[in-house]
Amino acid sequence: MTGRTIVDDITGSRRMRRNRKADWTRRLVQENRLTADDLIWPVFVVPGTNVVDPVAAMPGVNRMSVDKLVEAAKEAADLGIPALATFPNIEMSLRDETGSHCLAADNLINEATRAIKKAVPNIGVITDVALDPFTSHGHDGVLRGDVIVNDETVELVARAAVIQADAGSDIISPSEMMDGRVGAIRRALDEAGHQNVGIMSYATKFASAFYGPYRDAIGTGGLLKGDKKTYYIDPANGTEAMRDAALDVEEGADMLMVKPGLPYLDICWRMKEAFSLPVFAYQVSGEYSQIKAAAMNGWIDGERVMLETLLAFKRAGCDGVLTYFAMDVARHLAKKA
């Protein structure tokens, strides 16, 4: 067929497919790109040496002892990954009602920070100050009766933040969703002379079912009594999430995080539009495991789905993503370059 067609009449000669016609045009018009610079790698630390212990519900993810973690951190830095986020699996005998072991200068998370910063100074270390790895009940704060008490938890978390910064943490990442925590941590850090230590707030952390495999990884799954609905945000509420994030911005957060990731892309977009701050999504354990499980069954192409989800975060306005795929992606990108 030659000459004008009925479609030319309908579209007035606009054809979207012209820009999609070849690999080179598609590359030319590509709006978002994923690079190693976008990746934060969450890692699980266990006591001991020479331990690499697979997390059953997260194929490809291991709990590592500090020595192994240091090796992995070197590899991550060589692949261009800017930062790690560390999560400790604390011995049960050290967990108590108030999570008091979070204040030990030589606890596992601080030991990991010191070792990584010493061996691999050019990788960023982001540490969470929530109490859940340290409490005997798996909640993120101090449990009194059946209440997670806000202000007492904030006090502890702010002290833990200073101790984490003393150990060399570059960014404190409070995930326990207590009111006032960002401001309290900022004040405590400044008073201790840690003006250069940043705060990446889990500004909008939702009471989600997607955290299941993580709780297995750090050994809190069996412990948790009840749920976290009195402090995490209801998945139904976008406006409330924005208000919570606005408070964190006022209190001095340097970066904002949305968690979980893919089911909350609308929140990522709204936060990026509303605040002039870097926004990160946390592609959480359940999101990772879903993709892995389907890929292992041959139901989806795991690598392509992984890359598509991460690109979707970029399109939604995120400056980067915390993802258990970080090493896989970085290796894939290095191969392509």
**Could you list the residues that contact ligand PBG (CB under 6 A)?**
128, 130, 132, 140, 175-176, 211, 214-215, 228, 284-285
From 68, 117, 205, 272, the catalytic residue: 205
Please write down the long-range contacts of 2-11, taking CB distance under 8 Å and 24 or more positions apart. Answer: none
Residue type for position 151 = D
Instruction: Name the minimum Å distance from CB 130 to ligand PBG.
Output: 3
HEC-encoded secondary structure of 203-242: EEEECCHHHHHHHHHCCCCCCCCCCCCCCCECCCCHHHHH
> Token digits for 60?
């490809």
Q: Decide if 205 is catalytic.
A: yes
H-helix segments, the chain: 6-11, 23-29, 66-78, 108-119, 150-166, 181-191, 212-217, 238-250, 265-274, 285-296, 302-315, 326-336
Find where tokens 């969450």 sit. Answer: 42
Instruction: Name the minimum Å distance from CB 15 to ligand PBG.
Output: 43
The residue among 124 and 219 lying less far from ligand PBG, judged by its C-beta, is 219
Q: Decide if 21 is catalytic.
A: no
The residue among 211 and 325 lying less far from ligand PBG, judged by its C-beta, is 211
The residue among 147 and 209 lying less far from ligand PBG, judged by its C-beta, is 209
Instruction: Name the minimum Å distance from CB 7 to ligand PBG.
Output: 47
Q: How far is CA 51 from the centre of its chain?
A: 23
Determine if the peptide bond prior to 133 is cis (ω within 30°). no
Instruction: Name the minimum Å distance from CB 303 to ligand PBG.
Output: 20
> Residue 56 in 3-state DSSP?
coil
The residue among 119 and 293 lying less far from ligand PBG, judged by its C-beta, is 293
The residue among 132 and 170 lying less far from ligand PBG, judged by its C-beta, is 132
Instruction: Name the minimum Å distance from CB 331 to ligand PBG.
Output: 21
DSSP tag of 135: B
Burial of 317 (0-12, 13-18, 19+ CB in 10 A): middle
Catalytic positions: 205, 259
